[in-house]
Structure 1
Amino acid sequence: MPVPSSPTSVFVFGSNLAGRHGKGAALWARHHRGAIYGRGVGPQGDAYAIPTKDRHLRVLPLPVIRSHVADFLGYARHRPDLRFEVTPIGCGLAGYRPDQIAPMFAGAPANVFLPDAFRVVLSASSGEVRHG
């Protein structure tokens, strides 16, 4: 078996606290990356769930999402061996805009790769482009 030349890729997706990975990126993560039905937060398989909705599928307030993003960024900092590919969490079924979510990822470690919509927002506010 060949040795991989790059770090393991982790699919980072928006979820709900009930762990009902039934739509969008969460469903894809369940089918293709080992996301665990019933687990709405944290690492699972080759995926990482960041909640944007509560157990009753109501949209979480931005400060609560920010707390979950901070937890994720802490995890990513402690796992430099992994490459985290973030989807535009909160901008699909939760209904937030990239300019509301992207700033939560400011200062993300180099192993966190953000979606274009987030990078555009962050580069506009800092004058630089990250992970381009």
Structure 2
Amino acid sequence: MRIDSLRPGEVFVFGSNASGAHGGGAARFAYDRFGAVWGQSEGLQGQSYGIDTMSGLRVFEEQAARFLAFAASHPDLRFLVTEVGCGIAGYRPEQVAGFFRGAPANVVLPESFVAVLDASGSA
């Protein structure tokens, strides 16, 4: 699923870096289209939500967990997750999809992540 536009209440979830320099990939798209804030790496920014995928898997996993908690506490919003970490950061869905295991119903994961979670029996 390619995300080109958002409806009210939808949030574009993208991979960022520690400095919040949204210069390429989905981060640049979030900056150009959905209100991502230059210099903010993590959290809700306009109609987007950043997760630092460039500071190692441990940081990525911690921020993904915080994202899932945020999403659970905001059931009025619908979060559309890109293949975070699978572009410029260079990870494969098999390495990172598990970080989103147990996502609440208002989180829409990319098909590649769903396939990994389904294959592991823990979608």
Q: TM-score, normalised by structure 2?
A: 0.91
Among residues 80, 92, 104, which one is paired with 1:97 in the alignment?
92
**Number of the residue aligned with 1:28:** 29
Pair 1:118 & 2:119 matched: no
Q: Which runs of 5+ in 1 are unaligned?
A: 1-5, 54-59
Pair 1:69 & 2:59 matched: no
CA distance in 1, matches of 2:113, 2:87: 13
Residue identity in the other structure for 2:32: H
* Cα contact 1:98–1:117 (8 A) shared by 2: yes
CA distance in 2, matches of 1:126, 1:27: 34
3-state SS of paired residue (2:61): helix
CA distance in 2, matches of 1:62, 1:35: 22
C-alpha displacement of 1:95: 0.5
* Cα contact 1:7–1:81 (8 A) shared by 2: no
TM-align CA RMSD: 1.3
Q: Which runs of 5+ in 2 are unaligned?
A: 1-6
Q: TM-score, normalised by structure 1?
A: 0.85
C-alpha displacement of 1:7: 6.1
| Identical-pair percentage | 52
**Structure with larger Rg:** 1
Residue identity in the other structure for 1:123: D
* Cα contact 1:7–1:83 (8 A) shared by 2: no
C-alpha displacement of 1:73: 0.4
| Aligned structure 1 segments of 4 or more residues deviating by more than 2 angstroms | none
